[in-house]
């Protein structure tokens, strides 16, 4: 692990504390999705929309979304932090402020944004703060990064509805970060569709078993 004497896994670094990063990506992103066959990088075809989610280790999280009908492509990366164009090792140091994120490119005529929110909430425990199960660190925090006022409203409405059913099931407060999307920095090639390339690979994704109410958010969010 890089910078063990400086590691922050209990709080987010300030912009002044964060690693400086680099002006350009440290590695290219090319090729097509290993399962869906569509390009990973944009620009994407007209009529598609983009959604970004953080729900723990992005290997298993990405698979949940590429298995969802109506999703055109997915890719994993780093989002919500300060350091431009970080590497995986830098993100894991806790000194970039990023969380592991999945970018979902979808056809809203086939799968509404509300349905993606349902997948998101039910695929992890959003009450755990800076961890997901045994994975601990700020890079595993729960997050929704939105691309329109409609997505922001839908995410907040779904959070409030899910909070009610989680609380009734004995869970605490949702700690999910919901805010407009900032830069999405793609992860290294070997992380993309990792569980397709490594079927026996680690998957730390696991939900609460509590169903998110259907129809808790508007179907828009293009």
Looking at residue 4, its pLDDT comes to: 46
Contacts of 206 (CB under 8 A, 6+ apart): 124, 125, 133
* N-terminal to C-terminal alpha carbon distance within the chain: 39
For the chain, 222 residues long, give each residue's pLDDT as a single digit of tens: 344 445 566 889 999 999 999 999 999 998 999 999 999 999 999 999 999 999 999 999 999 999 999 999 999 999 999 999 999 999 999 999 999 999 999 999 999 999 999 999 999 999 999 999 989 999 999 999 999 999 999 999 999 999 999 999 999 999 999 999 999 999 999 999 999 999 999 998 889 999 998 654 444 455
When divided into structural domains, the chain yields a total of 1
Residues spanned by the domain of 74: 49-197
The model's pTM is: 0.92
What pLDDT does 12 receive? 95
Choosing from 57, 92, 203, 212, the catalytic residue is: 57
> Is 212 labeled as catalytic in the residue annotation?
no
- 40 in a structural domain: no
Within a domain: 153: yes
Task: Give the CATH number of the domain where residue 141 resides.
Answer: 3.30.1060.10
Query: Is 87 part of any domain?
Result: yes
Q: State the SS3 of the chain.
A: CCCCCCCCCCCCCCCCCCCCCCCCCCCCCCCECCCCCCECCCCCCCCCEEEEEEECCHHHHHHHHHCCCCEEEEEEEEECCCCCCCCHHHHHCCCCCCEEEEEEEECCCCCCHHHHHHHHHHCCCCCCCCEECCEECHHHCEEEEECCHHHHHHHHHHHHHHHHHHHHCCCCCCCCEEEECCCEEECCHHHCCHHHHCCCCCCCCCCCCCCCCCCCCCCCCC
Whether 110 maps to a domain, the answer reads yes
């Amino acid at each position: 692990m890089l910078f063990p004497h400086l590691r922050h896994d209990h709080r987010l670094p300030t912009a002044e504390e964060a690693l400086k990063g680099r002006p350009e990506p440290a590695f290219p992103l090319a090729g097509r999705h290993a399962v869906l066959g569509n390009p990973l990088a944009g620009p994407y075809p007209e009529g598609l929309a983009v959604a970004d989610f953080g729900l723990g280790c992005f290997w298993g999280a990405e698979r949940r979304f590429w298995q969802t009908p109506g999703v055109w492509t997915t890719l994993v990366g780093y989002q919500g932090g300060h350091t431009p164009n970080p590497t995986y090792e830098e993100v894991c140091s806790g000194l970039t402020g990023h969380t592991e994120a999945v970018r979902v490119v979808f056809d809203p005529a086939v799968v509404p944004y509300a349905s993606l929110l349902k997948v998101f909430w039910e695929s992890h425990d959003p009450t755990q703060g800076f961890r997901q199960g045994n994975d601990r660190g700020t890079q595993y925090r729960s997050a929704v990064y939105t691309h329109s006022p409609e997505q922001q409203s839908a995410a907040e409405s779904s959070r409030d509805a899910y909070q009610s059913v989680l609380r009734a099931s004995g869970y605490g407060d949702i700690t999910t970060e919901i805010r407009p999307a900032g830069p999405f920095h793609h992860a290294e090639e070997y992380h993309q569709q990792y569980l397709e390339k490594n079927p026996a690979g680690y998957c730390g994704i696991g939900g609460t078993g509590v169903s998110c109410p259907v129809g808790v958010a508007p179907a828009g969010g293009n």
